[in-house]
Chain A
Amino acid sequence: MPLRRINDFTIRVATVNGSGSQSSNLVLSNAIFRLGIPVAPKNVFPSNIEGLPTWYDIRVTPKGYQCRTREVDVLVALDAQTWREDVAGVKAGGMIVHESTYPVSGETQRDDVTYFAVPFLEMGKKNFPNADLRKYLINMIYVGVVAELLGIDETTVDEAVRTQFRSKPAAVETNMNAVRLGVGYAREHLPKQETFRVERMSGKTEGLLFLDGNRAAALGCIMGGCTVAAWYPITPSSSLCEAFITLAEKYRVDPQTGEKRVAVVQAEDELAAAGIVFGAGWAGARAMTSTSGPGLSLMAEYSGFGYFAEIPGVIFDVQRAGPSTGLPTRTMQGDVAFAYALSHGDTKHIVLLPATVEEAYAFGMEAFDLAERFQTPVFVLSDLDLGMNSWMSRPLQYPEKPFDRGKVLTAQDLAKLDSWGRYRDIDGDGIPYRTLPGTHHENAGFFTRGTGHDEQARYSEDPQTWQRNLDRLTRKHETARQRVPQPIAEEANCSVGIIAYGTTHHAVVEARDILRDDGLGLDYLRVRALPLSPAVADFIERHERVYVAEQNRDGQLYGIMRAELPAHLIARLHSIRHYDGVPIDAHAIAEPIQAAELEPAVVTD
């Protein structure tokens, strides 16, 4: 009898882009999640609207690992183009559900996997006369087939279908009928299989949400009081602004008057989007834009202006694989170093690094407080994996604090002051006071400029004045070091540690378990923002060796650490890099550490 794999395997659905498989994949993921079993879906899709291959991996794990895995146990093959490579990618012992007209011979005939042939196309033709709907409904047939083979009950699938089509209830029945066709076919024509099964479990998913990072960030913007959003469409960030628009239309429009408490501009490009953000921020609104690498490049000049003229603004960068247009639909942590120093000259920004949906929401909200507190651009660096994939998430917390609107002088404040200076450091924290246009006081006005300026915002080329201003900006940056989201440490007095950030976190979680099984304990520090907290140096100080894992070729956080930390700590750092465009998996971290840390196994014949 083969090894049974209860709630512990990965399903890969291979389809053609544009066939509407996203809905069926979400239904399948959601149904498994509803049974209390942790799921981690990863959509690996092409930069194309229709016709190219696309894969959707649903990882089912009792432990709740959320990172990608390299292994495929159950293949649903509905793309003739990739049939051969898809078959080759299945792990020994796996199963393959496939369109029955695909040839099982030669290379595609493996004796270490089980085949389940289903006449999807024929069933589609017979049952769905409407050719437009057919391709979508064929996908629902495989949901039924897979549900039956794995043991997912019909009620649960029904609930998942209802969730998926909650905005168009009329579609529920049509889709459920297609699901039932699949279930019926599997019952009648396919052999039972007992290797891969799902069984209802408890203790893992209760109270969790199933949400993508972009929608969570959009909600963060709404709750963070964002009133001006400017954007230019780009994958993988578009769904952030689109979700913001959906929320704004629902919650920011007065039902009586139709008046809006928000302005959204689809700008002509990212230069303009950034300009709108800093114009609005200067005039006192909480403003944001969301983009990805190419757009971030265009925002460089305005970001430097925002830094130097000290204007709040929030920029979401949902990172994708670069350089250049790169792989628009693949993920990367590739903009960290660029965003941190975005623009020419002595520029240093605040960068938030969310790892989870919960943080996408919370940092999305907090970014506005930080931007106004520090009067500066704040970058929120998510990535395609976090932004566009659905994740299990702990519930999002309702904000308990009011907005922090920072140091703004009102007309009443000014009436009490003999004088004030826009760029004076009164409090010693590097953060000056500002006034907003429209403030009704004769001393309120000042001249905002990107050129050299003194404490009174007057033009100045004086060397001391210039340097004094840059030093104050450094002081401000140092203040931010303690105020940005601080790292989270998990330590057990190990001598070796690992540092990661963003979505690499999920691979670290699993990698630490793998290494623990090998007898190697690994302390962990997750960095959540730049500038680096002093806690980072303290962590390295406590460890002999520290691995820095990230998803880019050049080790960007590693580079920032090398630039900012003392030499004896730098010597302890080892960089681990993953940069193939698909989300990092646990082995990409565990393997180099095993190789470096563990005694080579004694080889015996």
Chain B
Amino acid sequence: MSTTTNLNIIGLPRDVYKGLPTTLCAGCGHNSITNHLVKALYDFGAQPHRLAKMSGIGCSSKTPAYFVEQAHGFNGLHGRMPSAATGAKLANRDLLVLGISGDGDTASIGLGQFCHMIRRNVDCTYIIENNGCYGLTKGQFSATADAGSKQKNGKINDYAAIDLCGLAIELGATFVARSFSGDGKQLVPLLQAAFAHKGAAVLDVVSPCVTFNDHVGSTKSYAYVKEHDFALHAPDFIMHGKEIEVDYEPGTVQSIELEDGSHVLLRKLHGDYDPTNVMGALGTIHEARERGELVTGLLYVDTKETDLCEREHLSETPLAQLREEDLRLSREEFAKLTTPLA
């Protein structure tokens, strides 16, 4: 065994975070996101056995097979992953729940469950691999396709896009970020911050479909996104217990402490942007849309709101591990409750 293998903070090599070879198209944005996830989970020191990889149906939803092969995966139903993730988290609150979805999976068939997962603030990381189309069913428009964008066959989309970040913030999401599959520098720290966050962390990651939606006229192509990406800041993730070495000019970096004591550092790129301000976040999203830009970065974060398990006062011991003596009535209680004519 080579002694030069790098190990992460829990002593695991990077290979442990890899999965089966991808079966997606070469160049698919989803593959890049998978690679960024491998790095983020490795850097974060996620324990594979505690990881629950959940997904719906779509090319994007296949990707949980392509990272952390050791971990449990749940490739469920189209649009219905949030409910399964909710159930899994309630059953075992120690799990690090990581949901992978697509824009069809989330913005169309699964919009209701997406909204209610946010409303309940289920502690999970929820990634939408957003390509503006249904990759797996061969390129039909999805509900995140921009009005006026062109399908490969020339058809123009007449309907306004659902902005999943704006919607999530409106619904009270406690962590909302947008990024691009081609920008690992931005995405990897955002992913780690999402893992650290307690509550539903939504990441809308634009992820071009090279086969059906990467042409001129598409607003989800590599070229278009690179051209119109408007990054609010350059994020960095500092694990809790690690010292923050600030070698930036004062006033150019915002530091946000997350629930577990870790920090996201946001080095400002375009003036002041405060991701703890809801109105500012919504305004920025709207303004960027009007300018035809794709605003990326940590759009909104709230570290005060309690997550579902906390709000429900769930026992520290995961529900799945409780036994007869924790769950059944005692003989006396039972007799009292079921006395004839009581």
Q: Measuring CB to CB, which residues of chain A are less than 8 angstroms from any residue of chain B?
A: 33-34, 163, 206-210, 219, 222-223, 225-228, 230, 251-254, 258-263, 265, 267-269, 271-285, 287, 301-302, 305, 395-396, 398-399, 402-403, 435-451, 459
- Closest chain-B Cβ to A159's Cβ sits at a distance in Å of 8
Question: In the complex where A223-B329, A223-B334, A445-B48 touch, is A437 in contact with B72 (Cβ < 8 A)?
Answer: yes
User: Quick one: which of B54, B82, B327, B331 contacts A252, CB cutoff 8 A?
Assistant: B327
Q: Tell me, in angstroms, the Cα distance from A243 to B128 when the chains sit together.
A: 38
Please tell me if B245 contacts chain A, counting CB pairs below 8 Å.
no
A285 touches B65 (CB 8 A): no
Question: In the complex where A268-B112, A445-B48, A448-B73 touch, is A278 in contact with B87 (Cβ < 8 A)?
Answer: yes
Question: In the complex where A219-B337, A275-B113 touch, is A227 in contact with B73 (Cβ < 8 A)?
Answer: no
Question: In the complex where A269-B112, A275-B77, A459-B65 touch, is A442 in contact with B340 (Cβ < 8 A)?
Answer: no
Closest to A443 in B: B70
Q: Tell me, in angstroms, the Cα distance from A272 to B87 when the chains sit together.
A: 9
- Closest chain-B Cβ to A125's Cβ sits at a distance in Å of 35
Please tell me if B333 contacts chain A, counting CB pairs below 8 Å.
yes
Q: 26 A-B Cβ contacts within 8 A?
A: A163-B342, A206-B340, A251-B329, A258-B313, A259-B315, A261-B326, A261-B327, A263-B314, A268-B113, A268-B115, A272-B83, A272-B112, A276-B83, A276-B86, A282-B84, A284-B92, A284-B321, A285-B87, A285-B320, A396-B334, A438-B49, A442-B70, A443-B70, A445-B73, A448-B74, A450-B77
B87 touches A225 (CB 8 A): no
User: Quick one: which of B51, B88, B323 contacts A279, CB cutoff 8 A?
Assistant: B88
Q: Which residues on the A side are within 8 Å of B52 (C-beta)?
A: 283, 437
Q: Tell me, in angstroms, the Cα distance from A352 to B167 when the chains sit together.
A: 43
Q: Which residues on the A side are within 8 Å of B289 (C-beta)?
A: none
Q: Which 5 A-B pairs have the closest CB atoms?
A: A275-B83, A279-B87, A284-B320, A279-B84, A285-B91
Question: In the complex where A210-B341, A275-B87, A437-B88 touch, is A302 in contact with B320 (Cβ < 8 A)?
Answer: no
Please tell me if B246 contacts chain A, counting CB pairs below 8 Å.
no
Q: Tell me, in angstroms, the Cα distance from A259 to B317 when the chains sit together.
A: 10
List which B174-215 residues lie within 8 A (CB) of chain A: none
B315 touches A302 (CB 8 A): no
User: Quick one: which of B314, B328, B338 contacts A209, CB cutoff 8 A?
Assistant: B338
Q: Which residues on the B side are within 8 Å of A259 (C-beta)?
A: 313-316
Interface centre among B85, B89, B327 (most CB of A within 10 A): B327
Interface centre among B70, B81, B83 (most CB of A within 10 A): B83
A440 touches B49 (CB 8 A): yes
B73 touches A163 (CB 8 A): no
A446 touches B72 (CB 8 A): yes
- Closest chain-B Cβ to A581's Cβ sits at a distance in Å of 31
Q: Tell me, in angstroms, the Cα distance from A254 to B327 when the chains sit together.
A: 11
Q: Tell me, in angstroms, the Cα distance from A275 to B91 when the chains sit together.
A: 13
B72 touches A445 (CB 8 A): yes
Closest to A208 in B: B340
Q: Which residues on the B side are within 8 Å of A439 (C-beta)?
A: 49
